């Protein structure tokens, strides 16, 4: 059988690379200077370079199941996502951090399902999204809302990193929350002032700005969309209608 992967490697070297070789040589000589840290889900349907229209040297990327951000708890260990955040902010001096979730996310869906046997690392990792889960039966709407809520949760965790908070509050770093709807080909960006996700086609910006500029929560936030019926032990749980623009 032909080795398709080997053929793809050869096509890259023979067909694609000659057209960008000069660009890569410059990146080798001058080093990388990306302005964006992209934290995205590992899902194969999420293609950051296509979404952002970027090329080599423009995006520092970290991807994991669910696009989760571990809390900054002061501990040191083998944690790729936390290390990437620190490297991007402290060494590369990025000016934007994007957290990008997406529709039909298997990692978010797994929050509502039984744990996969023997996947102990996965089970522990999924707990980083647990706070975004809704106490309801899983429906397409519940999944979408959970995906969006998880993006907001990760943005909040980012603000727990001292180097991130310092730069956000100084106006040197902007945080952006995105939810990519695969079937529509459109990213919905999080607007911190309205507490909703807005299609990029009608948005006024590419995502939330500094958190310290947000107004006091008026109860319309995506994290306050659930009525009292969803209290633990309730048998009448349901999801409130979607927020305008969400």
Give yes or no for a contact between 207 and 193, defined as CB atoms under 8 angstroms apart.
no
Mean pLDDT of the 214-240 span: 42
Strand partners, 191: 196
- Please report, rounded to a whole number, the percentage of residues in the chain having pLDDT higher than 90: 75
- In this predicted structure, the answer to whether residue 245 has a pLDDT above a threshold of 90 is no
- In this predicted structure, the answer to whether residue 53 has a pLDDT above a threshold of 50 is yes
Give yes or no for a contact between 176 and 207, defined as CB atoms under 8 angstroms apart.
yes
- In this predicted structure, the answer to whether residue 75 has a pLDDT above a threshold of 90 is no
Average pLDDT for the chain: 86
Strand partners, 38: 61, 98
Predicted structure pTM score: 0.85
- In this predicted structure, the answer to whether residue 169 has a pLDDT above a threshold of 70 is yes
- In this predicted structure, the answer to whether residue 234 has a pLDDT above a threshold of 90 is no
pLDDT category at 12 given cuts 50, 70, 90 is very high
Tell me the per-residue pLDDT of 110-155, one tens digit each, with 9 for 90 and over: 999 998 899 999 999 999 999 999 999 999 999 999 999 999 999 9
| Structure tokens that stand for 211 in this block | 């958190």
Report the b/e string of 35-53 with b at 16+ CB within 10 A. Answer: ebbbbbbebeebebeebbe
pLDDT category at 197 given cuts 50, 70, 90 is very high
Of 16-30, 60-74, 75-89, the least confident: 75-89
- In this predicted structure, the answer to whether residue 232 has a pLDDT above a threshold of 80 is no
**pLDDT confidence of residue 212:** 53
Tell me the per-residue pLDDT of 82-105, one tens digit each, with 9 for 90 and over: 999 999 999 999 999 999 999 999
**pLDDT confidence of residue 76:** 72
Higher per-residue pLDDT: 211 or 187 = 187
CA 185 to chain centre: 16
Mean pLDDT of the 1-19 span: 95
pLDDT category at 233 given cuts 50, 70, 90 is very low
pLDDT category at 213 given cuts 50, 70, 90 is low
Distance between CA atoms of 223 and 197, rounded to whole angstroms? 12
């Amino acid at each position: 059988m032909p080795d398709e992967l080997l053929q793809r490697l050869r096509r890259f070297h023979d067909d694609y690379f000659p057209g960008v070789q000069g660009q890569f040589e410059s990146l080798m000589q001058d080093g990388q200077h990306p302005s964006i840290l992209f934290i995205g889900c590992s899902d194969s349907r999420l293609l950051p370079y296509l979404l952002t229209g970027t090329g080599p040297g423009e995006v520092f990327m970290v991807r994991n199941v669910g696009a989760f951000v571990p809390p900054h708890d002061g501990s040191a260990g083998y944690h790729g996502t936390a290390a990437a955040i620190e490297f991007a902010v402290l060494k590369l001096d990025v000016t934007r951090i994007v957290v990008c979730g997406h529709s039909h996310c298997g990692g978010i869906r797994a929050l509502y399902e039984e744990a996969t046997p023997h996947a102990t690392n996965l089970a522990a990792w999924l707990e980083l999204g647990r706070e975004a889960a809704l106490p309801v039966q899983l429906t397409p709407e519940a999944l979408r809302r959970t995906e969006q809520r998880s993006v907001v949760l990760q943005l909040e965790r980012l603000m727990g990193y001292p180097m991130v908070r310092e730069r956000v509050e100084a106006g040197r770093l902007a945080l952006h929350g995105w939810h990519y709807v695969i079937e529509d080909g459109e990213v919905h960006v999080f607007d911190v002032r309205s507490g909703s996700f807005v299609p990029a086609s009608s948005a006024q910006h590419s995502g939330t700005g500094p958190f310290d500029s947000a107004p006091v929560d008026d109860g319309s936030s995506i994290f306050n969309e659930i009525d009292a019926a969803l209290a633990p032990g309730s048998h009448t749980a349901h999801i409130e209608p979607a927020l305008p623009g969400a």
